[in-house]
Amino acid sequence: MNLNITTDKTHRYDAIVVGSGMTGGIAAKELTEKGLNVLMIERGREVKHIEDYDTATKAPWEIEHRDHITVHSAEERWANRRFGTLASDATVGFMTNDAQNPYEEKRPFDWIRAYHTGGKSMHWGRQTYRWNRADFEANAKDGYGVDWPIRYEELVPWYTRMEKFVGISGKAENLAVLPDSTFLPAMPMTPPEQHFRDMIDKKLNRPVTIGRVANLSKAQPWHTALGRASCQYRNKCVRGCPYGAYYSSLAGAIPVAKNTKRLDILHDSIVAEVMYDEKTKRAKGVRVINQHTNAVTEYFARIIFLNAGSMNTAALLLNSTSSRFPNGLGNESDQVGRNIMDHHLGVGANATVDGFEDDYMFGQRPNALYIPRFRNWGNDKQTTYLRGFGYQGGANRSDWKRGTAQDGFGASFKQEMTQPGKWSIGFGGFGEVLPNPDNRMTLSPTKKDKWGIPLIVFDAAFGENEVAMRKDMMNSAMEMLDAAGFKNIIGNNRQDVHLGLGIHDMGTARMGKDPKTSVLNKFNQVHDCKNVFVTDGAAMASSSCVNPSLTYMALTARAAHHAVDQLNKKVL
């Protein structure tokens, strides 16, 4: 291994941010705007906004292999392929090569990663919701996990700050179960969806709303100032948006941080260890390995934000050992790597829709309907499981691509494909997963990757509570489709679903009030090393049933402002 150990001034910063994704971008933005010189370290390749979205505007027939996945790509990206999330050759470049970045599984875990500038913010689903008050209180009430050290009210100003910056399209509904955000204009429902909403309200008294999505339905001046424009309704978001219409750290937070002239970014640089100073009882910097040359360089800072993703952040803490922390930085509680949570996937129902032949869709809406949680909420109680779930989905009318699965040829067949097909509708459930200390990841004592870093070993699975919830998620979806009068209803509860597939993995370095049972305090500081902050999914003490990215971003902004305040007071 090549050594380049140096304390040169060029390697000293006010803050280091590990990771360039959803939370890493926000950390860099908030810290640089507050006047700090920041080094962002990204383990993967550099992706340049617009310039490197090489398939963004291509038609299917213009993409190599006609947009089909090659055998070679499927073998290299086996975690993505196992359930079918690797579905397009147009997006392969934004998915991590699992063969080159291996991990081990005691129980199957679908670890979906994105090693490049922007991380998973480059191809997230963009459904963006606030948690509700009960989400922060559930652990204390039912005894699972540890109590959150904060409550909803403490995050409200940070939710608002992030919503305005990111740009969230949605409709205010005044629901306690789904608090309203600061919204851009809502995207429209299709006529079958409007029918579904009205019937579910009438027959089951359940609300249905349009999804709250991080796509600019109407760009505001602070968005256009960054070069972002309103959504073009192409629904090609996973390829990278050349219009900047959907939020990613590459189109949003990183440009803001760069504009301050106080951000440096390292690419192809793997943070192997957080270095701890026994004298000051603070972290002093990070040890970094260049993934191409194996050269090792040390970088130093007054504060360090870990935003590498919940699993890599926990692995980094576990690999950062010292006399003070022989089991990993901040791991006196033995909670680092434990309590892996995610959301359900692969459960729900579909149906066909009769009628509405004269109704069409405008463009390709990059959004869905959202059905908020109704189980174990208000008077809707049941005893077979705790917590609850929501649904995402909606109605679509088939287009010319249906012809790939139909028999036919010639002029008449081509003419038929120019006409819209039939309507169908479907919903998939997103259910809450309980924190469980036996759902965990550890570091292999014997196997290392090609950079000499121990492999992550996963040992996690759905429990009895999740299995019972999945049955209700399928049955309730079928119930609602039937109540709306739709036909040919088919329920779905796939049994080959593993934790990780929801791509909302979280909980491996949880926040809490007691250092004996948690890793982080209420400001996301490591309890016993307060100049290290963890604000990605690792920090979560529970999982709710709504998409978590907005909460991650709000926690990150809050922690960054606290960090700067503590620096100014010379506490850190």
The three-state secondary structure class of 475 is helix
Q: What pLDDT shows up at residue 216?
A: 98
- Mean pLDDT check: name the lowest of 190-199, 275-284, 404-413: 404-413
Element (H, E) at 224: helix 221-224
Give yes or no for residue 169 having a pLDDT over 90. yes
Report the C-alpha gap between 241 and 441 in whole angstroms.
34
473 touches 432 (CB < 8 A): no
Pairing between β-strand 269-277 and β-strand 389-397 as defined by DSSP bridges: unpaired
Residue 29: strand pairing partners: none
Report the C-alpha gap between 227 and 301 in whole angstroms.
31
Q: What pLDDT shows up at residue 2?
A: 47
Report the C-alpha gap between 34 and 563 in whole angstroms.
10
Work out the average pLDDT over 37-58. Answer: 94
Residue type, 532: V
How many residues comprise the chain?
572
Tens of pLDDT, residue by residue over 413-425, are: 888 888 888 999 9
183: how many CB neighbours lie within 10 A of its CB?
15
The three-state secondary structure class of 122 is helix
Q: What pLDDT shows up at residue 84?
A: 63
Tens of pLDDT, residue by residue over 377-403, are: 998 988 899 999 999 999 999 887 788
CA distances to 272, 276, 520 from 317, in Å: 9, 11, 12
pLDDT band at 364 (very low <50, low <70, confident <90, very high): very high
In the numeric block, the tokens 């009960």 are attached to 134
Of the chain, the percentage scoring pLDDT greater than 90 comes to 82
Tens of pLDDT, residue by residue over 200-245, are: 999 999 999 999 999 999 999 999 999 999 999 999 998 899 999 9
pLDDT band at 62 (very low <50, low <70, confident <90, very high): confident
Cα 98 from chain centre: 19
Report the C-alpha gap between 314 and 441 in whole angstroms.
8
CA distances to 112, 352, 486, 572 from 493, in Å: 21, 18, 20, 50
pTM of the model: 0.96
Tens of pLDDT, residue by residue over 501-533, are: 889 999 999 999 999 999 999 999 999 999 999
Give yes or no for residue 3 having a pLDDT over 70. no
Does the structural domain 36-63+94-548 have CATH classification 3.40.605.10?
no
Pairing between β-strand 263-266 and β-strand 269-277 as defined by DSSP bridges: unpaired
Residue type, 79: A
Domain ranges for the chain, please list them.
Answer: 36-63+94-548
Element (H, E) at 202: helix 191-204
Tens of pLDDT, residue by residue over 85-106, are: 565 666 777 888 888 999 999 9
Phi, psi of 151 (to 5 degrees): -125, 170
Pairing between β-strand 263-266 and β-strand 454-459 as defined by DSSP bridges: unpaired
